[in-house]
Amino acid sequence: MRKNKPAKLSRIHVKGLVLLITCFLLLHSPSWVIPQKPLKPGSSKKVIIIMMDGFGIDYYRKSNMPNLNKIEKRGIYKPVISLMPSVTNLNNTSICTGTLPIVHGITGNSFVNPATGNEEFMEEDSLVLAPTIFERAEKKGVHSLLFSSKKKTTGLLFKGTDEAISPETASKKWIDVMGAPPSIYSREVNYWLLNAAIYSMQHNPAIDLFYIHTTDYPMHTWAPEEKESKEHLHTLDSLIGRMMEVLPNAVILLTADHHVNHKSFCWDIEKALAKRNISIKMAISPERDKYFKHHRGFGGTSYVYLKDSSDRARVIQGIKQFKGVDEVITRQEAVKRFHLMPARIGDLVVLGDSTTVFGDLDTENEVLPANYRSHGSLYEAKVPLFMYNTPPVIKPSVIQYNYQIAKWLYN
């Protein structure tokens, strides 16, 4: 009779048990980032973060973008949710700080300043109440550059950077190297910006973190299926491919702040209510910024400020009668649902349907032209997210929002 080999079987059992335990720990880790070769202070590992303004999923799928296709196949790709209102400053700050608006305090491109009672642009760095990724990197000894097609971003998020570069405020040094910047109202301004970033990657080895923010003027101007849009995005993809050649081992993180859709109708809520004998203090579009040609300041969300809290029910009922209004919610509901800082939003938050926006008009409403495109509503709050060469093992299933893309860096 053949004898058993308990020692050998025991080793097999032990190996199987170890494998099972390892799998269990990986699947049930309390952290969504398992630290495997984390970025260290002074590390030569480069990080490229691209916040592609207005880059909705339709824009990606309807364009020829082979380098992003490569990242999708070899790295991590998934559709994620952007934060509300779906406008640039709020989402860009969320991505740059890795926090929600209730923490960092940016609730739109514009807000009513509680200190003054006036509507103001949210462009000052003092309004950002959470550390930027550049400040986190600086504490780790990591040098960084911020590139943005929009100068409002360089004013809002520059803290901790070695330099913040914008074509709108380009210094002689950058003009000598890159040439005169194109107009902010062009596709070419994004090409200038990405080429400037590539130049820095080639000539400034001390920089380990590059944050690049494009403009969405092309998305406001052309729909995803239009030739000009496809040409623009194919060119951006080629420049991303060039970055991958220059820094082949770099971590690449790319997402967007919002999508852009055609809108056909705009309400001036304050004028429309007044015409119905309902008075409010004011109504503002948190999408409003200095780039009037992009969207005329109209957006799919409105912050409404009451004269008196006793007017709330009547104002809500009045706004709900307007064609194209999906919801009217209270400040408390908006804070709970969208994680907004209560002191920096209205008493009411109005949400438009897929074709309706709000803003300042000469009359109570306006039919918009067929080529008008904007954002700010829930219908623009879904965007792509790409991650490539990430050093930790990341659980993609836990990443649900765009702001989570870089929150793990330099922590």
pLDDT at position 32: 33
pLDDT tens track for 387-400: 999 866 577 888 99
pLDDT score of 397: 84
Lowest mean pLDDT among 100-109, 142-151, 289-298, 381-390: 289-298
What residues have CB less than 8 Å from 270, skipping those under 6 apart? Answer: 280, 282, 283
* Nearest-5° Cα angle at 50, 228 to 247: 105
Contact between residue 161 and residue 137 where contact means Cβ atoms under 8 Å apart: no
Would you say domain 263-372 falls under CATH 3.30.1360.110? yes
Reported as a pLDDT band with limits 50, 70 and 90, residue 39 is very low
- At residue 25, the pLDDT reads 33
Please report the pLDDT score of residue 152 as a whole number.
96
Q: How many CB atoms lie within 10 A of CB 325?
A: 18
pLDDT top residue among 54 and 20? 54
Report the mean per-residue pLDDT for the chain. Answer: 90
**Where does residue 72 rank: exposed (0-12), middle (13-18), buried (19+ CB within 10 A)?**
middle
pLDDT score, position 44 = 52
List the chain domain ranges. 47-259+381-404, 263-372
**Cα 374–chain centre separation:** 15
What pLDDT score does 411 carry? 85
272-310 per-residue burial string, b: 16 or more CB within 10 A, e: under 16: bbeeeebebebbbbbbbbebeebbbbbbbbbbbbbeeee
For residue 108, count other CB atoms closer than 10 A to its CB.
Answer: 27
Q: By C-alpha distance, which of 202, 187, 218 is closest to 145?
A: 202
CA 225 to chain centre: 22
Q: Are strands 143-148 and 207-213 parallel, antiparallel or unpaired?
A: parallel
* Whole-number pLDDT of residue 392: 62
Is residue 374 over pLDDT 50? yes
Fold of 47-259+381-404: Alkaline Phosphatase, subunit A (3.40.720)
Q: Which residue is it, tokens 């209004």?
A: 325
pLDDT above 90 as % of the chain = 85
Phi, psi angle pair for 230, to nearest 5°: -65, -40
pLDDT mean over 164-193: 97
Give pLDDT tens digits for 53-88.
999 999 999 999 999 999 999 999 999 999 999 999
Lowest mean pLDDT among 7-21, 38-52, 129-143, 211-225: 7-21
CB 7 within 8 A of CB 14: no
For residues 20-36, average pLDDT: 34
Strand partners, 120: 111
SS (H, E, C) the chain: CCCCCHHHHHHHHHHHHHHHHHHHHHHCCCCCEECCCCCCCCCCCCEEEEECCCCCHHHHHCCCCHHHHHHHHHCEEEEEECCCCECHHHHHHHHHHCCCHHHHCCCCCEEECCCCCCEEECCCHHHCCCCCHHHHHHHCCCEEEEEECCHHHHHHHCCCCCEEECHHHCCHHHHHHHCCCCCCCCCHHHHHHHHHHHHHHHHCCCEEEEEEECCCHHHHHCCCCCHHHHHHHHHHHHHHHHHHHHCCCCEEEEECCCCCEECCEEECHHHHHHHCCCCCCEEECCCCCCCHHHHCCCECEEEEECCCHHHHHHHHHHHHCCCCEEEEEEHHHHHHHHCCCHHHCCCEEEEECCCEEECCCCCCEEECCCCCEECECHHHCEEEEEEECCCCEECHHHCCEHHHCCCCCCC
Mean pLDDT across 329-346: 98
**pLDDT, tens digit, 9 for 90 and up, residues 260-285:** 999 999 999 999 999 999 999 999 99
* Environment class of 203 (CB within 10 Å of its CB; exposed 0-12, middle 13-18, buried 19+): exposed
Tens-digit pLDDT profile for residues 290-316:
887 788 999 999 999 999 999 999 999
Q: What single letter denotes the amino acid at residue 75?
A: G
- State the average pLDDT over residues 155-160: 97
Q: Greater confidence, 292 or 48?
A: 48
Roughly what angle, to the nearest 10 degrees, separates helices 66-74 and 227-246? Answer: 60
Give the pLDDT of residue 393.
Answer: 58
| pLDDT at residue number 293 | 78
